[in-house]
A = this chain, B = another copy of it.
Amino acid sequence: MSKKFEVIAVTGLPEFGSGDNLGEAILSRLQEMGFTLEDGDIIVVSQKVVSKVEGRMVRLSDVKPSERAITLSKITGKDPRFVELVLRESSQIEVAVKGHLIVTTKSGITCANAGIDVSNVEGSGETVLLLPVNADISAKKIREYIAAKSGKRIGVLISDTHGRTLREGQINVAIGISGLKPFKDYRGTADMKGYVLRVKMINVADELASAAELVMGQATERTPVAVIRGLDELIGEHEGSGELNMPQERWLFKPVGITGDGV
Protein backbone atom coordinates (compact mmCIF):
# COMPACT_ATOMS: atom_id res chain seq x y z
CA MET A 1 0.00 0.00 0.00
CA SER A 2 1.17 3.49 -0.78
CA LYS A 3 2.35 5.74 1.99
CA LYS A 4 -0.19 8.36 2.99
CA PHE A 5 -1.30 10.49 5.87
CA GLU A 6 -4.38 12.42 6.89
CA VAL A 7 -4.84 15.78 8.56
CA ILE A 8 -8.12 16.08 10.47
CA ALA A 9 -9.48 19.35 11.90
CA VAL A 10 -10.75 19.09 15.46
CA THR A 11 -13.78 21.33 15.12
CA GLY A 12 -16.30 22.48 17.70
CA LEU A 13 -13.90 23.03 20.57
CA PRO A 14 -15.17 25.49 23.20
CA GLU A 15 -13.80 28.99 23.79
CA PHE A 16 -10.89 28.56 26.19
CA GLY A 17 -10.06 30.57 29.28
CA SER A 18 -7.29 30.69 31.85
CA GLY A 19 -6.89 27.43 33.75
CA ASP A 20 -8.79 25.20 31.31
CA ASN A 21 -7.39 21.73 30.69
CA LEU A 22 -6.60 21.66 26.97
CA GLY A 23 -5.73 17.97 26.88
CA GLU A 24 -9.05 17.07 28.46
CA ALA A 25 -10.99 19.35 26.09
CA ILE A 26 -9.28 17.86 23.04
CA LEU A 27 -9.89 14.28 24.16
CA SER A 28 -13.50 15.00 24.99
CA ARG A 29 -14.11 16.67 21.65
CA LEU A 30 -12.43 13.83 19.75
CA GLN A 31 -14.74 11.39 21.56
CA GLU A 32 -17.81 13.43 20.55
CA MET A 33 -16.51 13.36 16.97
CA GLY A 34 -16.28 9.57 17.17
CA PHE A 35 -12.54 9.80 16.60
CA THR A 36 -10.33 7.36 18.53
CA LEU A 37 -6.67 8.26 18.89
CA GLU A 38 -4.14 5.70 17.68
CA ASP A 39 -0.46 5.14 18.35
CA GLY A 40 1.49 7.45 16.05
CA ASP A 41 -1.06 10.26 15.93
CA ILE A 42 0.36 13.78 16.08
CA ILE A 43 -1.77 16.51 17.66
CA VAL A 44 -1.08 20.04 16.45
CA VAL A 45 -2.32 22.82 18.73
CA SER A 46 -2.40 26.50 17.86
CA GLN A 47 -0.30 28.70 20.14
CA LYS A 48 -3.27 30.92 20.77
CA VAL A 49 -5.38 28.44 22.71
CA VAL A 50 -2.32 27.35 24.68
CA SER A 51 -1.66 30.97 25.65
CA LYS A 52 -5.29 31.40 26.64
CA VAL A 53 -5.40 28.42 29.01
CA GLU A 54 -2.06 29.53 30.45
CA GLY A 55 -3.53 32.94 31.29
CA ARG A 56 -1.24 34.93 29.00
CA MET A 57 -3.81 37.67 28.34
CA VAL A 58 -2.65 41.18 29.26
CA ARG A 59 -4.76 44.34 29.32
CA LEU A 60 -2.90 47.15 27.59
CA SER A 61 -4.36 49.59 30.11
CA ASP A 62 -2.30 47.81 32.79
CA VAL A 63 0.97 48.39 30.91
CA LYS A 64 3.16 51.43 31.48
CA PRO A 65 5.52 51.89 28.53
CA SER A 66 9.20 52.58 29.19
CA GLU A 67 11.16 55.33 27.42
CA ARG A 68 12.64 52.71 25.11
CA ALA A 69 9.17 51.41 24.23
CA ILE A 70 8.00 54.94 23.44
CA THR A 71 10.98 55.50 21.13
CA LEU A 72 10.42 52.20 19.33
CA SER A 73 6.72 52.94 19.15
CA LYS A 74 7.47 56.12 17.21
CA ILE A 75 9.71 54.21 14.79
CA THR A 76 7.36 51.31 14.21
CA GLY A 77 4.02 53.09 14.52
CA LYS A 78 2.84 50.51 17.07
CA ASP A 79 1.09 51.21 20.40
CA PRO A 80 3.79 52.01 23.00
CA ARG A 81 2.15 49.69 25.55
CA PHE A 82 2.20 46.87 22.98
CA VAL A 83 5.86 47.61 22.24
CA GLU A 84 6.59 47.54 25.99
CA LEU A 85 5.16 44.01 26.18
CA VAL A 86 7.20 42.96 23.16
CA LEU A 87 10.35 44.27 24.86
CA ARG A 88 9.56 42.40 28.09
CA GLU A 89 9.22 39.15 26.09
CA SER A 90 12.41 39.72 24.10
CA SER A 91 16.10 39.11 24.56
CA GLN A 92 17.06 41.13 21.46
CA ILE A 93 15.55 43.50 18.92
CA GLU A 94 16.38 42.43 15.37
CA VAL A 95 14.34 44.83 13.24
CA ALA A 96 12.46 48.00 14.15
CA VAL A 97 11.25 49.93 11.13
CA LYS A 98 7.96 51.51 10.16
CA GLY A 99 5.30 48.80 10.48
CA HIS A 100 7.65 46.05 11.70
CA LEU A 101 9.12 44.98 15.02
CA ILE A 102 11.03 41.71 14.83
CA VAL A 103 12.72 40.35 17.94
CA THR A 104 14.29 37.24 19.37
CA THR A 105 12.18 36.11 22.30
CA LYS A 106 13.51 34.91 25.63
CA SER A 107 12.70 31.38 24.38
CA GLY A 108 15.02 31.99 21.41
CA ILE A 109 12.41 32.32 18.65
CA THR A 110 12.95 35.14 16.15
CA CYS A 111 9.56 36.48 15.04
CA ALA A 112 7.43 39.59 14.62
CA ASN A 113 6.15 41.28 17.82
CA ALA A 114 7.49 38.50 20.07
CA GLY A 115 4.50 36.51 18.81
CA ILE A 116 2.08 38.76 20.70
CA ASP A 117 -1.36 38.65 19.20
CA VAL A 118 -4.33 40.98 19.34
CA SER A 119 -6.81 38.96 17.30
CA ASN A 120 -9.35 36.49 18.65
CA VAL A 121 -8.80 37.76 22.19
CA GLU A 122 -11.69 38.93 24.38
CA GLY A 123 -11.70 42.72 24.31
CA SER A 124 -9.15 42.78 21.47
CA GLY A 125 -7.37 45.97 20.75
CA GLU A 126 -7.24 46.47 24.51
CA THR A 127 -6.30 42.91 25.47
CA VAL A 128 -3.40 41.06 23.89
CA LEU A 129 -2.11 37.52 24.14
CA LEU A 130 1.53 36.68 24.88
CA LEU A 131 3.20 33.48 23.68
CA PRO A 132 3.31 30.62 26.19
CA VAL A 133 6.28 31.10 28.54
CA ASN A 134 7.69 27.81 27.29
CA ALA A 135 5.72 26.13 24.53
CA ASP A 136 7.80 22.95 24.83
CA ILE A 137 6.56 22.51 28.40
CA SER A 138 3.02 23.32 27.21
CA ALA A 139 3.34 20.59 24.57
CA LYS A 140 4.68 18.12 27.11
CA LYS A 141 1.79 18.74 29.51
CA ILE A 142 -0.78 18.17 26.78
CA ARG A 143 1.00 15.09 25.51
CA GLU A 144 1.39 13.54 28.95
CA TYR A 145 -2.28 14.15 29.79
CA ILE A 146 -3.58 12.73 26.50
CA ALA A 147 -1.11 9.82 26.49
CA ALA A 148 -2.07 8.87 30.05
CA LYS A 149 -5.82 9.03 29.40
CA SER A 150 -5.77 7.38 25.96
CA GLY A 151 -2.92 4.94 26.51
CA LYS A 152 -1.60 5.91 23.08
CA ARG A 153 1.88 6.90 21.97
CA ILE A 154 1.31 10.32 20.45
CA GLY A 155 3.25 13.46 19.65
CA VAL A 156 2.18 17.04 20.35
CA LEU A 157 3.25 20.14 18.45
CA ILE A 158 2.40 23.77 19.28
CA SER A 159 2.24 25.89 16.13
CA ASP A 160 2.44 29.60 15.40
CA THR A 161 2.12 31.62 12.19
CA HIS A 162 5.36 33.29 11.06
CA GLY A 163 6.55 35.46 8.20
CA ARG A 164 9.82 34.63 6.47
CA THR A 165 12.66 36.75 5.26
CA LEU A 166 12.53 36.04 1.54
CA ARG A 167 9.03 34.73 0.93
CA GLU A 168 5.66 36.42 0.78
CA GLY A 169 2.89 35.22 3.04
CA GLN A 170 3.08 33.47 6.35
CA ILE A 171 3.30 29.78 7.17
CA ASN A 172 2.80 27.79 10.34
CA VAL A 173 5.92 26.63 12.16
CA ALA A 174 6.58 24.64 15.33
CA ILE A 175 7.28 26.56 18.55
CA GLY A 176 6.73 23.67 20.96
CA ILE A 177 7.35 19.92 20.60
CA SER A 178 6.83 16.86 22.74
CA GLY A 179 7.25 13.23 21.75
CA LEU A 180 8.22 14.06 18.18
CA LYS A 181 11.42 14.09 16.16
CA PRO A 182 11.87 17.61 14.79
CA PHE A 183 14.19 16.62 11.95
CA LYS A 184 14.62 13.92 9.38
CA ASP A 185 18.36 13.76 9.31
CA TYR A 186 19.93 12.76 6.00
CA ARG A 187 23.46 13.86 6.81
CA GLY A 188 25.87 11.37 5.28
CA THR A 189 23.01 9.44 3.65
CA ALA A 190 23.57 8.24 0.11
CA ASP A 191 20.97 8.77 -2.58
CA MET A 192 19.73 6.14 -5.01
CA LYS A 193 22.95 6.51 -7.02
CA GLY A 194 25.20 6.30 -3.99
CA TYR A 195 26.00 10.04 -3.81
CA VAL A 196 25.69 12.11 -0.68
CA LEU A 197 22.50 14.17 -0.65
CA ARG A 198 22.33 17.93 -1.10
CA VAL A 199 19.54 17.93 1.45
CA LYS A 200 20.96 17.46 4.89
CA MET A 201 18.17 17.81 7.39
CA ILE A 202 14.46 18.29 6.81
CA ASN A 203 12.63 20.32 9.42
CA VAL A 204 9.62 18.02 9.63
CA ALA A 205 8.29 19.85 12.68
CA ASP A 206 7.71 23.01 10.64
CA GLU A 207 6.32 20.92 7.77
CA LEU A 208 3.82 19.27 10.15
CA ALA A 209 2.77 22.68 11.48
CA SER A 210 2.30 23.93 7.90
CA ALA A 211 0.30 20.85 6.92
CA ALA A 212 -1.99 21.33 9.91
CA GLU A 213 -2.52 25.02 9.09
CA LEU A 214 -4.24 23.99 5.86
CA VAL A 215 -7.24 22.77 7.91
CA MET A 216 -6.86 25.10 10.88
CA GLY A 217 -7.47 28.43 9.14
CA GLN A 218 -7.14 31.86 10.68
CA ALA A 219 -10.42 33.78 10.77
CA THR A 220 -13.94 32.79 11.81
CA GLU A 221 -13.44 29.31 10.37
CA ARG A 222 -10.59 28.98 12.81
CA THR A 223 -9.96 25.54 14.28
CA PRO A 224 -7.19 25.53 16.88
CA VAL A 225 -6.40 21.79 16.85
CA ALA A 226 -5.71 19.18 14.17
CA VAL A 227 -4.69 15.54 14.27
CA ILE A 228 -2.16 14.15 11.79
CA ARG A 229 -2.45 10.41 11.25
CA GLY A 230 -0.10 8.19 9.29
CA LEU A 231 3.34 9.60 10.07
CA ASP A 232 4.10 7.26 12.98
CA GLU A 233 7.81 7.25 12.08
CA LEU A 234 8.11 10.82 13.36
CA ILE A 235 7.04 9.86 16.90
CA GLY A 236 9.99 9.62 19.26
CA GLU A 237 11.29 10.32 22.73
CA HIS A 238 12.45 13.77 21.67
CA GLU A 239 11.35 16.82 23.70
CA GLY A 240 11.81 20.45 22.77
CA SER A 241 11.93 22.75 19.76
CA GLY A 242 15.05 24.78 20.59
CA GLU A 243 17.12 23.13 17.85
CA LEU A 244 14.75 24.52 15.22
CA ASN A 245 16.05 28.05 15.83
CA MET A 246 19.22 28.69 13.85
CA PRO A 247 21.91 30.17 16.12
CA GLN A 248 22.39 33.82 15.25
CA GLU A 249 26.09 33.44 14.40
CA ARG A 250 25.08 31.21 11.47
CA TRP A 251 22.54 33.63 9.95
CA LEU A 252 23.57 34.49 6.38
CA PHE A 253 21.02 37.30 6.22
CA LYS A 254 21.39 39.98 8.89
CA PRO A 255 18.56 41.97 10.43
CA VAL A 256 18.42 45.60 9.29
CA GLY A 257 18.26 46.69 12.94
CA ILE A 258 16.57 49.84 14.19
CA THR A 259 16.12 52.45 11.51
CA GLY A 260 13.77 55.39 11.40
CA ASP A 261 12.96 58.72 12.97
CA GLY A 262 14.18 59.31 16.50
CA VAL A 263 16.93 56.64 16.56
Contact = CB atoms under 8 A, between A and B. Distances in A.
B214 A2 contact: no
B161 A202 contact: yes
Interface in A166-201: 166-173, 182-184, 186, 189-201
A255 B9 CA distance: 39
A103 to B, nearest CB: 12
Copies of this chain per assembly: 2
A204 to B, nearest CB: 6
A202 B8 contact: no
A220 B199 contact: no
Contacts of A255: 252-253
Interface stretch (A51-59, A117-125, A148-156): A117-125
A241 B187 CA distance: 30
Interface residues of A, number: 84
B246 A7 contact: no
Nearest to A95: B252
A151 B236 CA distance: 43
Given A4-B7, A170-B202, A122 B165 contact: no
Contacts of A220: 190-192
Nearest to A161: B199
Nearest to A111: B166
